[in-house]
Amino acid sequence: MDTSATLYDWAGGALAVRDSCEVVEIELLAADSFLVAEGRVLALGLHRERFAETVREQGFREGAQLAAFWDAGVALLPGDGRWFPRFELVRARDALRLRFRLRTAPPLGSDLVVATAASDPRRVPHLKGPDIDRLNVLRQRAQQVGAQEAVLLDDGRVSDGTTTALLWWRGDTLCAPPFELARVDSVAARTVRGIAAALGVPVEEEAVRPSELDGVALWAVNALHGIRDVTVWVDGPALGHDPARTAAWRSRFGALARPIR
């Protein structure tokens, strides 16, 4: 991801810019990112909740420190421009540390080309962060065949993307992979499902193989780009498209962003 970034360490109850000369072997245990555009962000509370749940599962139990760390990171977010900050829990020198990465946002897109991943190297597929490096390798392999994103399968069934959640339409019904499949609890997907509930649109869970998505309109959703239309699945199903619906839902999704403070 081509972004400029400033890395902050949490120490002594405050965030401090990390000494770039310090070399420490780290293991990423949790990470949560979201788009900040002109001082507005979507579903900040859900991101905070997911990050807190992940770091607790990874062994960080200091709730007061975590709350203060999150608030300090949010306080650093600029009120103009586009940013893609990342809150992190890492293991460094056998200790758990909180870090904050203030990054400029990369260019945003409205469509996407995908390819099926040949394997699934994830070790903790339900957590956001620990498998980022492994997923980046899959994305790079997908790029070699002309795609931008790899689709992960769980026993042959569509479960997740390397950086996105996948949703699709059966007529006027919005569909999603079942929760029991190996995938992250996507804040963006939860937001889209919330829009569906507000509009009275039925939502169903569906365990499908890629070939069973032939002809359907497929969306890739995440906190950075929002809703993107999957235009092509390399060596996969021939997808359908509904540009008017996609544009309308992208607008609804974006309208949910709220001021940071």
pLDDT digits (tens, 9 = 90+) for 153-165: 999 999 999 999 9
**What topology is assigned to 111-259 in CATH?**
D-amino Acid Aminotransferase; Chain A, domain 2 (3.20.10)
* Cα 121 to Cα 116: distance, rounded to the nearest angstrom: 13
Comparing CA positions, the residue from 130, 186, 173, 177 lying closest to residue 152 is 177
**Identical fold, 5-103 and 111-259:** no
For 5-103, CATH gives: 3.30.470.10
CB neighbour class for 211 (10 Å; exposed up to 12, middle 13-18, buried from 19): exposed
Question: Which residue's entry shows tokens 């949560």?
Answer: 32
| Residues in the chain, overall count | 261
* Cα 87 to Cα 32: distance, rounded to the nearest angstrom: 5
* Cα 67 to Cα 63: distance, rounded to the nearest angstrom: 6
* Cα 120 to Cα 118: distance, rounded to the nearest angstrom: 7
pTM of the predicted structure, to 2 decimals: 0.94
Dump pLDDT digits (tens) for 195-249: 999 999 999 999 999 999 999 999 999 999 999 999 999 999 999 999 999 999 9
- Asked if 239 contacts 233 with a C-beta cutoff of 8 angstroms, the reply is yes
Domain range summary for the chain, segments of one domain joined by +: 5-103, 111-259
Q: Look at residue 127 in the predicted model and tell me its pLDDT.
A: 96
- Asked if 196 contacts 203 with a C-beta cutoff of 8 angstroms, the reply is yes
Q: Look at residue 22 in the predicted model and tell me its pLDDT.
A: 60
The answer to whether residue 1 scores a pLDDT higher than 80 is no
Element (H, E) at 1: none
Dump pLDDT digits (tens) for 54-104: 999 999 999 999 999 999 999 999 999 999 999 999 998 889 999 999 999
Q: Look at residue 94 in the predicted model and tell me its pLDDT.
A: 82
Distance of CA 219 to the CA centre of its chain: 14
Question: Which residue's entry shows tokens 């609890």?
Answer: 185
The answer to whether residue 140 scores a pLDDT higher than 60 is yes
Dump pLDDT digits (tens) for 3-29: 578 999 999 999 999 876 565 668 999
Residue 62 is given by DSSP the state: -
Distance of CA 177 to the CA centre of its chain: 16
